[in-house]
Amino acid sequence: MTKENRPVQGSESAGDKPARREETLGESIRYFCVLLLAVFAVRSLVVEPFNIPSGSMIPTLQIGDFVLVSKFSYGYSRFSFPFSPNVFSGRILNSTPHRGDVAVFRFTRDTSVDYIKRIIGLPGDHIQVTGGKLILNGIEVPRTALGHYEVLDENNRLLSGDRYRESLPGSAGGRPTVEHDILKLTDEGFANDTPEYVVPEGSFFAMGDDRDDSADSRFQGDGPDDLGFVPMQNLVGRAPIVLFSMDMRHPAWQFWYWPTEIRWNRFLHSVT
């Protein structure tokens, strides 16, 4: 009787490799869909990056800043989701914003456009600007002069004015006082001498920190850039931090300028 030469079960002869299982097309599609769903969930429910393309929030935010926006700060509306599907109205898990928050929201005249401004007034607040000074509920908001300030805007135009530290009264549940910087270029013009506005229920009043170069809630007419009162439903989220920042004065394809355009001092810069 002969014996068969068989390898011991479970062992491999020298040089043999286990067969590699090939991934099927269906599995690849499934993995891609899971990844896509995860990205969608994070961007819709947790955080989303936004680029700052204009100078309306100078000096707090610079052109070329990339801010991380907290999507869960105020709850969720249809504008929290990509493409803003009109599947429900109002807000889920609604939380009222605080006076002084820097928030991203949808433009009132075109909800496909994102705006970022500071929330100055909440429902019931009386807002007015007189002689370039902000009046909140009949009291002038204190500010301290910090000196001259110059910067170029998105059109390479020089903004030359004075920088102030403004002490905005906070709101219930938030900071008692919100200390932040503003830029003043002039005390002339409509934006510096407005009527008194009363913020209606379900809305807020937003202004840019670059007070004389911002299309914001001071403009209540029918012009294409007039913001008016912003419905709470339009809120996307709060911007608490700058992830990174680039000067971006050269075309993107000129990559050799990239290292010199990075603003290293603004990495993980807190937004106040």
- Span 156-167, mean pLDDT? 95
- Which of 129, 120, 147 has its CA nearest to residue 192? 129
Residue 80 known to be catalytic: no
Strands 230-231, 203-207: pairing is antiparallel
User: What's the pLDDT score for residue 24?
Assistant: 81
Query: Hey, what's the torsion of the CAs at 97, 179, 143, 145, to 10 degrees?
Result: -140
Point out the catalytic residue in the list 54, 56, 77, 203. 56
Whether the pTM exceeds 0.75: the reply is yes
Residue 117 known to be catalytic: yes
Domains of the chain: 28-85+97-252+262-270 (2.10.109.10)
Q: Quick one: which H or E segment has residue 134?
A: strand 133-136
Best mean pLDDT range from 22-26, 135-139, 243-247: 135-139
The residues facing 147 across adjacent strands are: 163
Does 194 have pLDDT greater than 90?
yes
Whether residue 129 contacts residue 135, with contact meaning beta carbons closer than 8 Å, is answered with yes
Can you give the three-state secondary structure of 15-60, one letter per residue?
CCCCCCCCCCHHHHHHHHHHHHHHHHHHHHHCEEEEECCCCCCCCC
- Span 31-57, mean pLDDT? 77
- Which of 114, 142, 120, 13 has its CA nearest to residue 54? 114
Does 2 have pLDDT greater than 60?
no
Does 70 have pLDDT greater than 80?
yes
The mean pLDDT value of the chain amounts to 88
Phi-psi sector, 132: left (phi>0), alpha (psi -120 to 50), beta: left
Please state, in angstroms and rounded to a whole number, the distance separating the CA atoms of residues 232 and 99.
13
pLDDT tens digits, 134-150 = 999 999 999 999 999 99
Assign 40 a pLDDT band (cuts: 50, 70, 90): low
DSSP annotation string for 66-123: EEEEETTSS-B-GGGSTT---S--S-BS--PPPTT-EEEEE-SS-TTSEEEEEEEE-T
Question: Residue 100 is encoded by which pair of tokens?
Answer: 């002084």
In the chain, % of residues over pLDDT 70: 87
Does 248 have pLDDT greater than 90?
no
Please state, in angstroms and rounded to a whole number, the distance separating the CA atoms of residues 69 and 80.
11
Point out the catalytic residue in the list 77, 117, 203, 214. 117
